[in-house]
Amino acid sequence: MDLLVNIITVLFLTMEATEGPIYLILNLLTLIGMMGIFRKCGLKPWHALIPCLREEKLGEAVGMEQEGRIAAMIHGAVLICREASLVFRYFSGTGTGLVPELLEVVNLFVLVLEFVYMIKLHLGLCEVFDRKKSWILLWIFMESIPAVMWGWLKEFQPLWTVSEMKNDAASFFSGSKAAVLDQGLTVNLEERTATEFFKKKYLLRDIHMYIKPGHMVLLLGGSGAGKTTYLNAVNGYEKAKAEVVLNGRNMYKEYKDMQYDIGFVPQQDLMRGSDSVFRTLMDAATLRLPSSFTRAEREARVNEVMEIFGLTPVKDNLVVKLSGGQRKRLSIAMEFISNPTLFILDEPDSGLDGVMARELFQQLRRIADQGKIIIVITHTPDRVIDLFDDVIVLAKDANRTGRLAWFGPIEEARTFFGKQKMEEIVKSVNRQEEGGEGRADEFIMKYAEVQHV
């Protein structure tokens, strides 16, 4: 240990010679160390020698692929700024002026960004090699030392390799599909993908369920688990590789005819503050009801919906004058005009206190009891959990793909996760760096096994 301290001291004293041979030697040692780390993590060692690719692969090694791609792009920007500055100096013969100063400012900005993302990746590396986070100080100030030690000393071994990380729940598929029935909602979602940084990214995979008519369902999941993406796939707004069947009709094949059979209430309402409640609902009726409806029939439906949601006393009030609870009820009433079979709500209780939130969810419970299917996202589920029938739990697997960790009754979910509160369930599947327990893969595989029993 004393020898290591002496070595560090000597190297720190030589750091001022950043343009001399010592600088080159330290860089070479870092690359050699990273080659060893990549080899231990199951990656090709030569990837560590290529700028930008090195950062991307480091992100893959620590299970932070998105951060790795961003760090790679930032490093590329650093190299571009550096070369641009050299080219300008060569042709201008001077290093002063507006252009060099702007390049210096941009270069400083991207260097700070690179520093931030490399800290994230190196903290991830500490987790993979099961080392204390205090090692980050050595990675920051003298990265050649931990790079060589972790890459080539036998006592430094990763807890898992890239292939092991991807061969568990990240690549595990249930192999089962939900039955398609004449009544209710069937979702058989194989995958939902997107292209990010010219690379295919899986947002959701292997999600199958059947929801009975009259059920009110809570949708749970941490940030980035794919809750909104899932809802958009179900309502047909963003199609996935999936089969979505509502009361025997295929949503994707008959989307035009079925789009008003699904009501979707986003978190942010899109109402004009200068319109009255009645005018707002009449406009919604014009858009959502069949063109064969007469004005009298549309007015009758608007009056009926206002009565259901307790908006009749404020029918002539301007939207801008409504309370928070009234605005929420109005935004829901706009979607309810067409009498949809499936009702989807994204945080309808956002900004409401406990009393108003419960009144709102009690209203939704009454709607579900009419045979409707209601799916709700809320970040405060435990205050109204008694009003729900089932819960969907989405979780990010090791590849950060949204997967199904549970679907079923509330009480069974509590037994399955060993938690009483819904917020505790979310915490159990969240990643450790997000303040969770990091047990997503465990529950994804456990749920798949339960389905086969």
Q: Is the pLDDT of residue 327 over 80?
A: yes
Number of domains in the chain: 2
Domain-embedded: residue 312: yes
Domain-embedded: residue 251: yes
Count of residues in the chain: 453
CATH of the domain at 298: 3.40.50.300
Return the ∠ at Cα 219 (arms to 218 and 225), rounded to 5°. 165
- In tens, the pLDDT along 220-276 reads 998 788 999 999 999 888 888 899 999 999 999 888 888 788 888 877 777 787 889
Is the same domain home to 152 and 274?
Answer: no
Residue where one domain finishes, among candidates 160, 175, 197: 160
Of the CA atoms within 13 Å of residue 79, those in its CB half-sphere come to: 9
Domain-embedded: residue 436: yes
Is the same domain home to 293 and 419?
Answer: yes
Is the same domain home to 190 and 271?
Answer: yes
DSSP 123: H
Is the same domain home to 193 and 331?
Answer: yes
Among 212, 207, 216, 208, which residue's Cα sits nearest to residue 181? Answer: 212
Domain-embedded: residue 175: no
- In tens, the pLDDT along 389-398 reads 999 999 988 7
Is the same domain home to 245 and 327?
Answer: yes
C-alpha distance from residue 142 to each of 12, 107, 135, 343 (Å): 8, 22, 11, 56
What pLDDT is stored for residue 95 in this prediction? 52
Which residues span the domain enclosing 103? 2-160
What pLDDT is stored for residue 7 in this prediction? 44
Is the same domain home to 242 and 379?
Answer: yes
What pLDDT is stored for residue 357 in this prediction? 86
Q: Is the pLDDT of residue 22 over 50?
A: yes
- In tens, the pLDDT along 418-429 reads 999 999 999 999
Is the same domain home to 152 and 298?
Answer: no
Is the same domain home to 194 and 97?
Answer: no
Q: Give the C-alpha separation, 80 to 142, whole Å.
A: 25
Domain-embedded: residue 329: yes
Is the same domain home to 152 and 243?
Answer: no
What pLDDT is stored for residue 390 in this prediction? 96
Per DSSP, which regions of 67-139 are E strands? Answer: none
Residue with tokens 């641009």: 84
DSSP-based three-state secondary structure for 247: coil
Among 64, 69, 59, which residue's Cα sits nearest to residue 38? Answer: 59
Residue with tokens 């009433």: 333
What is the b/e burial string over 148-176, where b = at least 16 CB atoms within 10 angstroms of the residue's CB?
bbbbeeeebebebbbeebbeebbebebee
Q: Give the C-alpha separation, 44 to 63, whole Å.
A: 16
Is the same domain home to 283 and 379?
Answer: yes
- In tens, the pLDDT along 34-75 reads 999 999 999 999 999 998 899 999 988 887 888 888 888 988
Q: How confident is the model at residue 112 (pLDDT cuts 50, 70, 90)?
A: confident
Is the same domain home to 231 and 119?
Answer: no
Q: Are strands 199-211 and 342-346 parallel, antiparallel or unpaired?
A: unpaired
Domain-embedded: residue 73: yes
Domain-embedded: residue 166: no
Q: Is the pLDDT of residue 5 over 50?
A: no
Torsion of CA 401, 405, 410, 412, to 10 degrees: 180
Mean pLDDT within 104-129:
85
Residue where one domain finishes, among candidates 160, 176, 203: 160
Across the chain, what does the average pLDDT equal? 84
